[in-house]
Amino acid sequence: MKDIILKVENISKQYRLGTIGTGTISHDLNRWWHRMRGKEDPYLKIGETNDRATKGKSQYAWALKDISFEVERGEVLGIIGKNGAGKSTLLKILSKVTGPTTGEIKTKGRIASLLEVGTGFHPEMTGKENVFLNGAILGMTKAEINSKLYEIIEFSGCQRYIDTPVKRYSSGMKVRLAFAVAAFLEPDILVVDEVLAVGDAEFQKKAIGKMQDISKGDGRTVLFVSHNMAAVKDLCTRGVVLVDGKIDFQGNVDSCIDFYLKNEKAQKIYNKKGHCNSNYVARVFITDDLGDEVERAIQRSEKIYLNFELYINDATDVYFGSTLLSNLNDPIISLPFDNKFINTGFVHIKILLPTKNLKGGEYFVEAALWNKGEVFDRKDDFISFVIIGDTVIEKSGENIKGYLISDEVWKIKSI
């Protein structure tokens, strides 16, 4: 028998675009007039779906539309989606910061949220005073905080400063202290939004470890939102993919991440109109074997080309070179170019990407166009692309080390 702790039914949320001013009063009056006569809100019908990039006609947009899902007790649910897909709005509704426009959420436990830590700190108060205040804001009682005070301070690593006003803290220390308070919350359902992107590497590790303790060790129900696919994969058991305010996919976490990466527009074409008496990079794009442009995530087995269109005004001593960078900006492979092929005018050059040697993840293309005295064009993120990791190890959910995968195979011999 499934023990459903949280049930979300047809949640929708409408937002009004633009600014609030004299113009919006007429809408408010109209809405009020409809309500007085017992009619439906006239503006609820006209919202458009929430595709951020296209300009819409309507003044209203649905940040969320008919969201329904269930969460079992002890489950860690990952909520995945692009910027503006509605993840944060959903978490805000779940944590009662704002109400839904329509729909209902039923829950069997107390929900506490860990959205952007550190709000509610008062700069004039000491660290310890702020621990109490922040804990109380998050829903703890004074007695609860008192019993965990030592652990919280210990975890934050701010012992020396604990009786100093928070305004004297470095920003990192503030975040550490705030996360420490939040980490010791004990609600039935914990809502976490992007908090792992804070603090230094040591603290991040500590924070992720704590998150794992909470979800795996204590068996708490957690809703987790992050862009960090590795963290999602690590922590979550099930996932929901949001696209433009709707649930496009739900299922176990691996199939969710696959779905997300496949449908994400992973590449954006670089396009620039430069000046005709200069040398510049005009276009950067990625094509498949047939020469069609590719904007989705790439399978390692595919033949994919990286294309550059260069405009060359003066070809004397011009060099061109490109490098693949990891998402942490580490150079991985150099793609050198022989300058004797450069002529004036538009030049189209392409190179086969070593896709079968790259592990899953996002890569950036750095390129430069220069001669001995001058750099004409240089950028370390002309475009990026995403490789879907499909090695046995990656499929099992583990991280593999390094960036390159050898295409040699192990030779096995029984001895």
- Point out which residues bind another protein (CB under 8 A): 1, 3-4, 7, 15-16, 20, 24-25, 28, 92-110, 113, 115-116, 119-120, 122, 124-125, 129, 132-133, 136-142, 165
Sequence-ordered list of residues with C-beta below 8 angstroms from that of 338, at least 6 positions apart, any chain: none
| Alpha carbons 208 and 219: distance in angstroms, whole number | 16
**Distance in Å, CB of 107 to another protein, minimum:** 6
Minimum distance from CB of 25 to another protein (Å)?
A: 8
**Kind plus residue range of the DSSP H or E element containing 4:** strand 4-16
Rounded to a whole number of angstroms, the minimum distance from the CB of residue 313 to another protein is 52
Q: How do 102-107 and 238-243 pair as beta strands?
A: unpaired
Residue 316 and residue 304: Cα distance in Å, rounded? 31
Nearer to another protein by Cβ, of 47 and 361: the residue is: 47
Q: Please, which residue, 81 or 103, has the CB nearer to another protein?
A: 103
Residues sharing a CB contact under 8 Å with residue 217, sequence separation 6 or more, in sequence order: none
Residue number, 109 or 172, with CB nearest to another protein? 109
Please state the closest distance from residue 171 (CB atom) to another protein, in A: 16
Give the nearest distance from C-beta 147 to another protein in angstroms: 13
Beta carbon nearer to another protein, 48 or 254: 48
Say how many CA atoms lie within 13 Å of 177 toward its Cβ: 33
- Smallest gap from residue 148 Cβ to another protein (A): 14
**Residue 226 or 322 with smaller CB distance to another protein:** 226
Residue 60 CB, shortest distance to another protein, in Å, is 12
Which stretches within 14-72 are classed as H helix? 22-36
Work out how close the CB of 81 gets to another protein at its nearest, in angstroms, rounded to a whole number: 20
The two tokens of residue 381 are 């993120």
Whole-Å CA distances, 350 to 286, 290, 291, 321: 9, 13, 11, 12
Instruction: Give CA–CA dist 301/324, Å, rounded.
Output: 18
Q: By C-alpha distance, which of 122, 113, 228 is closest to 182?
A: 113
**Which residue, 47 or 100, is less far from another protein as judged by CB?**
100
Least distance from another protein to the Cβ atom of residue 3, Å? 7
Nearer to another protein, 132 or 280 (CB): 132
Residue 169 or 364: the one with the smaller Cβ distance to another protein is 169
Q: Which of 321, 318, 375, 322 is nearest to 343 (CA)?
A: 318
Cβ closer to another protein: 34 or 350? 34
Which string of b and e fits 163-181 if b means at least 16 CB within 10 Å? eeebeebeeebbbbbbbbb
CA atoms within 13 A on the CB side of 157: 13
| Cβ neighbours for 112, distance < 8 A, ≥ 6 positions apart | 95, 138, 139, 185, 187, 189, 190, 191
Residues 136, 154: contact at Cβ < 8 Å?
no
413, amino acid identity: K
